[in-house]
Amino acid sequence: MIKDHISNAARYAGLPEGFQQALAFLQRDDLGSLECGRVDIAEGVFANIASYEPVPQDRKQYEQHFEYADVQFVVEGSEFLIEAPCDPDDYRDQALEGDCALCDDPGSVPSIVHLQAGTFAIVWPGEAHKPGLSDGLFRGTVKKVVVKVRV
């Protein structure tokens, strides 16, 4: 996993083109005014824009992806994201439509990442994660963009 502020996007110039397209999209000035839903960016790269209230950790399951990495970017608000390494092959048979499998316990020690407005986290296949968790500090609606990059 990578966590950083979008102002440091140039540090990641060595990542594949799909990530360059994702980071360029996340530097747009109008992200806060975009409607919730899907935005196609390029072949194999699209964004899901959402607005929601963060929830306690016990109200969500871990997500696991197989074909796409997530670039999770908080536009407004703040939240915790919990990440835990896992073996994607352990979850492939549980995959739901849309490149996602859910589980309660990935079987490894999790890390907690604090995402605030302007920060992003790149979560790779093989990293189970619980996004959208209350950090106990921010009260309100989080606006978030998750760019999916085919890997």
The torsion of the CA quartet 65, 69, 72, 73, rounded to 10 degrees, works out to -160
Would you tell me which CATH number, out of the four given (3.40.309.10, 2.60.120.370, 2.60.40.10, 1.10.260.40), belongs to the domain 2-150?
2.60.120.370
Report pLDDT for 102: 82
* Per-residue tens of pLDDT for the chain, all 151 residues: 999 999 999 999 999 999 999 999 999 999 999 999 999 999 999 999 999 999 999 999 999 888 999 999 999 999 999 999 887 777 666 666 678 888 888 889 999 999 999 999 999 988 999 999 999 999 999 999 999 999 9
Domain residue limits, the chain? 2-150
Give the global pTM.
0.93
Report pLDDT for 95: 64
Integer-rounded Cα Rg, in Å, for the chain is: 15
Beta bridge mates, 3: 121
Is 41 within 8 Å of 22 (Cβ atoms)?
Answer: yes
Report pLDDT for 104: 85
